[in-house]
Copies of this chain bind each other. A is one copy, B any other.
Amino acid sequence: MDPDGCATPVVDAERVSSVRRSLPSEETVQDLAQVFGLLADPGRLRMMAALLEGGEMCVCDLAAATGQSMSGASHALRLLRMRRVVKVRRSGRMAYYQLADSHVRMLFDLAITHARHTERESGDG
């Protein structure tokens, strides 16, 4: 709201405004946050991992493979579809899903690598 900060004291004003100018646009930030939000759910994460392996799968197999209900899987796939993370191919009454976006594949792969290399201690500092 305020272009230069009023309520918060500032130590290094130059640095602050320089960093400020370098930040991604509001739109980019929102967009990024939404994509990460999609990845922040275990069910959806497993779905993407499944599609990464399985290539193309129908909803019921996807649900079974990731331990979700059909309805839950469908809701999840809807969100992923809306964000263009997956794409669907229809054949009769079946719906076959696959990953749509290679960036997300890379993101996902990198994240898995990150997880594998990370100690799983959580502490405060």
Contacts and interface: CB of A to CB of B under 8 A. Distances in A.
B122 A82 contact: yes
Copies in the complex: 2
A33 B47 CA distance: 12
Interface residues of A, number: 78
B115 A104 contact: no
A35 B115 contact: yes
Contacts of A66: 23
Contacts of A103: 110, 113-114, 117-118
A65 B19 contact: yes
A30 B107 CA distance: 16
Nearest to A25: B115
